[in-house]
A = this chain, B = another copy of it.
Amino acid sequence: MAAEHQHFLTSDNINPNIRKMDYPVRGPLVARAGQLEKELKNGVKKPFKDIIKPDVGDCHAMGQLPITFIRQVMAMVFYPPLLDDPRFPDDTKERAQTILNACKGGSIGSYTDATGLEIIRKHAAEFIEKRDGIPCNWENVTLYGGAADGIKKILKLFVKETNGKRAGVMIPIPQYPLYSVTLDEFGLHQIRYYLDEDQNWGVNIEEMQRSIDEAKKVCNPKVLVIINPGNPTGQVFTRKNVEEIIQFAYKENLYILADEVYQNNINSENSKFYSFKKVMTEMGEPYVNMELASFMSCSKGYTGECGFRAGFAEILNMCPKVRAMFYKANTAMLCPPSTGQACIEPFVRPPEKGEPSYDLFIKEKEDILNSLKVRAKLIVETLNSFEGITCNEVQGAMYAFPRIRFPPKLIETAKKLNQSPDEFYASEVLENAGICIVPGEGFGQVPGTYHFRTTTLLPVDKMKIMLERLEAFHKEFMDRYR
């Protein structure tokens, strides 16, 4: 029917920024993986029995169990008659009652303020204060429908052309594609600074300087995005790294957007998480007065509640007039999902020693975090044993981003197919080994280098199967193109 009708909205007259948007983590390989699963279900013969999908940072999808404490609180918030149920411990009831008392009409179904429920903002501020050992003003803490929602809202503030030049945002390469896609959507200029793979994906201030100096010719640099611990690169910045980045941002008049959602995912014994807030504050004048937005989320860490879209930010030193405009603009979307907010409360206020849920909570939390450390190590060690693959330590976060040195013949073959070599590799891995990985191209990489991203989230058993299948494929593949 529709074919006979002249469409009013077409691919030619659509918002050109939307046309440009691309989100490689959910790209064509994911769709192809879905097709293959359907084929397998329908009895089509393949060289594998199932599709293994370690591609997305989706903990529960890969078998991680939710934290009981959080879910008990949420169950009571949604269905308050459960507050009388003796099976729920008193500390879960206290958290649930705290949330309900803050809700208008006592119902989680009512709107909250656009900045989130005040009591949860206060508790999130206490969580941040405890983390850093530095005071945190709850009025600087705001809740969002996931960190991505808050990040987009902050970036949107900078959309402005001045002297014929767009605003520019510095993003690390490799980066989490939320950034590139959001900059495309908003028509902001990408200022790409490369992380140094040889220094375990550290920042290199000279490289940052090169990238901003070049960018100044075509845009007005405004924001510096930092992802720490890194996605997809898994590095954890040292305190010195953080200090240097802050000094650089100060010198270049940049607003710092610190994506710190993996702060609870520290795998390496030699690494420690230093928040930008903490370092900036301890550096004193003039850095302590810099503008910073730092993001945290319930989606990662040991909770993995990514479906709820629950995140929060601490926004420091925002110009009061800007803050008023920012808050006003956000009221148009009414409020962040109250359900995500209901997850933040028990997350920032976990059971304390002596509370009835404490032992179970600690056990669940440490089991998950310890297992993630083991898995991060296993995947890195195994990948490093493959011909032509080198993989940096996954110091933090939940991704490995190995580099592959392909034989020249493979590179030529891919070129002929009009694919980048890493895309070709990932596609072959999917078709022949039934494993869905994400080509490095989607995150950005130094030209001439090739990578892929896999999460470290598969359960150990399944991860071993995945690595065995990948190894067998990889050997055959390298032989084929040698």
Q: Which residues of A are interface residues toward B (Cβ below 8 A)?
A: 1-2, 4-5, 7-11, 13-19, 21-23, 26, 56, 58-66, 71-72, 74-76, 78-79, 82, 103-105, 107-112, 114, 145-146, 148-149, 152, 156-160, 162, 177-178, 181-182, 185, 222, 253-255, 286, 288-291, 303-309, 317-322, 325-326, 328-329, 331-340
Contact = CB atoms under 8 A, between A and B. Distances in A.
A434 to B, nearest CB: 17
A417 to B, nearest CB: 22
Contacts of A9: 157-158, 222, 255, 291, 318-319, 322
Given A61-B104, A308-B109, A321 B145 contact: no
A61 B111 contact: yes
A17 B112 CA distance: 25
B157 A18 contact: yes
Contact of A333 (B148, B288, B332): B148
Given A75-B79, A319-B9, A306 B158 contact: no
B160 A322 contact: no
Nearest to A153: B18
Given A7-B318, A14-B322, 6 more contacts: A9-B255, A15-B156, A15-B158, A15-B159, A82-B82, A109-B304
B148 A334 contact: yes
Nearest to A10: B319
6 contacts: A2-B319, A9-B255, A13-B162, A21-B329, A22-B328, A149-B333
Contacts of A111: 56, 58, 61, 306-307
A431 to B, nearest CB: 22
Nearest 5 Cβ contacts at the A-B interface: A307-B338, A5-B289, A61-B104, A339-B339, A75-B79
How many copies altogether? 2
Nearest to A220: B13
A289 B18 contact: no
A74 B337 CA distance: 15
Contacts of A107: 60-61, 65-66, 307
Contacts of A22: 328
B10 A322 contact: yes
A100 to B, nearest CB: 11
A337 B145 contact: yes
B23 A332 contact: yes
A78 B310 CA distance: 15
Contacts of A332: 21, 23, 148, 177-178, 181-182, 185
A337 B309 contact: yes
A201 to B, nearest CB: 23
Contacts of A291: 7-9
Nearest to A255: B8
Nearest to A341: B307
A74 B75 CA distance: 8
A74 B79 contact: yes
A112 B308 CA distance: 10
A82 B182 CA distance: 40
A377 B289 CA distance: 56
Contacts of A160: 13-16
Contacts of A182: 332
Contact of A1 (B58, B162, B317, B333): B317
B109 A18 contact: no
A481 B105 CA distance: 37
Contacts of A112: 307
A177 B182 CA distance: 25
A415 B146 CA distance: 44
Contacts of A222: 8-9
Contacts of A17: 159
B337 A109 contact: no
Contacts of A23: 328-329, 331-332
Contacts of A305: 109
